[in-house]
Structure 1
């Protein structure tokens, strides 16, 4: 495939006129791109395209494409645009050698106007639809999660936050609990001294929900789907302790006199003021603590660590052991907070459980799809039906029936 042909196909894709056969031709060329000449030609075509009149909505996509080709990752959010289909591209084992080629393959899908999701697997025979089943039943279109959570007060009373008006919900001790205009929950301490009462509240997100909470000390917490945070109404003691079940991202307000502690399963995190993520779902084998900014101390099981930015501690509940990842993929660790599913060589079952929590569906495994390694990035705002279609086209044998995603080996 010569350079002129590569440039021509990329130009066609930017104009929305490339055929499936042309995109496959470009993907095949990338598979053989040992010297980087194909990727280089794609970069040249992008530069030429930028000098021409861009189609509506292409500007942000072109910037994302440039990031992918140059760095191997998307550095910019495409913003609010019309929903595009998710695409799964089967990658041959040899592609593991070419990091930029894999990124460029993602760029092809981006050029075609698709959210990209790359699936690395062995070739599999095409699956025929099962007679009498509808893989995409209309009743199971599947809308993505929204801002939904339940607030449990110290006296046991509950408040459905998504149904609550933007205003002061109640007052506990000297702290006002307010739902802000942007939907987040804020704990605002009064001028009076703390009562000293150990009042604790809990915010719980359901499957298909997420929420943001501003704690009384100024710390901010983002809760992922199917998660809960138990915390004091005000922090009157010598330390600030919260308990997490599920996944959350923390931006902790600095306070050298009162360390902030997160207890999550077999992991305890101690900080003074920093940004970090904790994933500790009860149905996942691995618990992960990832540091983005500052310093934290992590006790994983019986082993202690002091993390620097970009590092991660992983605790394996089955093996009852932990390890330090010195150069973690921090973008992947907080992708959910930024509106994406993102995986690098992840087991298919991990992604499917994440999908089940986000879309509030049940995943039924009739045989684990062994040997599937997933890499890619999907906008979490698209409908479940788009993701299921992409999974099937990529070789994952699954059907969507009512509120269940059935996966067959």
Structure 2
């Protein structure tokens, strides 16, 4: 079976016209590709596991309409090549219109952030070399070889004055992300268009930071000094735990998702205690908090380098793409199509848009860093 036959077969499986024998050939072909491709998977590296993951996760579909994009992406993932126009159209007649509509392209986001020190000095972290960056407020700030910002603080020598607390802020732009280790050992991963304000050392009974945008926290345990996160009308109190906060101002909701431990989420009107696997949602307009079951895999997809959609409306998807690829989206008349499935955040924007086009019967135009949608 060649690539052309493979793509045609994927289409027949999609619309339900494939025979049992053809489905068996389809699965066998995926197995053959996986056997030839020397791809290392975390914990699982067999061809069958790769095929299962592709079929399970890289499968975009419109509500009530399934299209096997997984099969089209499979060859690209398993042979290490980029997704091309041929895999999506299989028709030279459509090639020029696709290129015209997407004459520009955008690379995916990367590790980019700016650290603002207490005195106003700014350090571009993506340009900074590994090693010591600054001394501030009793803390040594360094960039590790693994591209993490680390704060190391030590108590002053006996007889020395305790240094004044200084607040620093790390900010990721649209199209950026970064990781930081706070003075107490707490680790924070920031998504794009986010910021974290924190002291250079924690003094007193509480460890308090302020978040905008989205961040994932692995809090160092210290029962005597609770860790507090303030974000968009709520305060989260923890002792030592793992959780994610999504607090983008244009989303209307602040979502706090607990992976490990327990947290208290305090809003203006009420509070909620979360257990692992639960999510609180704060309505920014009303100030009320309610609790629901969390989709942990979807919540954590960004940290693991993926977009993951679970009945996600296209307007919400476009917000994610806008932040990660640093593009503007004309929001007028975006169709409320629902998508399910996953896309790697490492893909070029044009490839992502083509996948969405194929499953949603819509067309994207990217011109002057702005996306418009026609349907």
TM-score normalised according to structure 1 size: 0.77
Shift of the 271–383 alpha-carbon distance from structure 1 to 2, 3 Å rule, reads: same
Q: Map residues 291-310 of structure 1 onto 2, 5 A cutoff.
A: 291-310=258-277
Partner of 1:376: 341
In structure 2, C-alpha distance between the alignment counterparts of 1:51 and 1:161, rounded to whole Å: 43
Superimposed CA distance per residue, residues 41-92 of structure 1 (whole angstroms, 9 cap, x where no aligned partner): 96898589769992224765631333576xxx55xxxxxxxxxxx8854452
In structure 1, C-alpha distance between the alignment counterparts of 2:46 and 2:286, rounded to whole Å: 45
Shift of the 278–187 alpha-carbon distance from structure 1 to 2, 3 Å rule, reads: same
Q: 1:246 aligns with which of 209, 213, 231?
A: 213
Partner of 2:121: 157
Q: 2:301 aligns with which of 325, 330, 335?
A: 335
Shift of the 303–235 alpha-carbon distance from structure 1 to 2, 3 Å rule, reads: same
Partner of 1:214: 181
Q: Map residues 111-260 of structure 1 onto 2, 5 A cutoff.
A: 111-113=74-76, 134-137=100-103, 140-192=104-156, 195=162, 197-260=164-227
In structure 2, C-alpha distance between the alignment counterparts of 1:259 and 1:244, rounded to whole Å: 16
Q: Map residues 286-365 of structure 1 onto 2, 5 A cutoff.
A: 286-325=253-292, 327-365=293-331
Superimposed CA distance per residue, residues 342-363 of structure 1 (whole angstroms, 9 cap, x where no aligned partner): 1111121111011011011111
**1:25 corresponds to 2:6:** no
In structure 1, C-alpha distance between the alignment counterparts of 2:125 and 2:33, rounded to whole Å: 49
Partner of 1:6: none
SS in structure 2 of the partner of residue 141 of structure 1 = coil
In structure 2, C-alpha distance between the alignment counterparts of 1:68 and 1:384, rounded to whole Å: 20
**1:390 corresponds to 2:355:** yes
Cα drift, residue 398 of structure 1: 1.9
In structure 1, C-alpha distance between the alignment counterparts of 2:253 and 2:220, rounded to whole Å: 27
CA root-mean-square deviation: 3.3
How many correspondences in the alignment?
A: 351
C-alpha contact (below 8 Å) 1:43/1:66 kept by paired residues: no
Shift of the 329–61 alpha-carbon distance from structure 1 to 2, 3 Å rule, reads: farther
Cα drift, residue 321 of structure 1: 3.0
Superimposed CA distance per residue, residues 153-201 of structure 1 (whole angstroms, 9 cap, x where no aligned partner): 0111111111111111111122100011111100011252682522110
In structure 1, C-alpha distance between the alignment counterparts of 2:163 and 2:371, rounded to whole Å: 49
In structure 1, C-alpha distance between the alignment counterparts of 2:341 and 2:298, rounded to whole Å: 10
In structure 2, C-alpha distance between the alignment counterparts of 1:400 and 1:52, rounded to whole Å: 33
Cα drift, residue 248 of structure 1: 0.3
C-alpha contact (below 8 Å) 1:301/1:315 kept by paired residues: no
In structure 1, C-alpha distance between the alignment counterparts of 2:34 and 2:106, rounded to whole Å: 37
Cα drift, residue 285 of structure 1: 1.4
SS in structure 1 of the partner of residue 347 of structure 2 = coil
Shift of the 65–49 alpha-carbon distance from structure 1 to 2, 3 Å rule, reads: closer
TM-score normalised according to structure 2 size: 0.83
Q: 2:51 aligns with which of 44, 57, 65?
A: 65
Partner of 2:42: none
Superimposed CA distance per residue, residues 265-300 of structure 1 (whole angstroms, 9 cap, x where no aligned partner): 022111000100000001111210000111111123
Structure 1: unaligned runs, 5 residues or longer = 1-11, 75-85, 96-101, 116-127
SS in structure 2 of the partner of residue 163 of structure 1 = coil
In structure 1, C-alpha distance between the alignment counterparts of 2:252 and 2:118, rounded to whole Å: 31
SS in structure 2 of the partner of residue 366 of structure 1 = coil
Cα drift, residue 227 of structure 1: 0.3
Structure 2: unaligned runs, 5 residues or longer = 40-44, 79-93
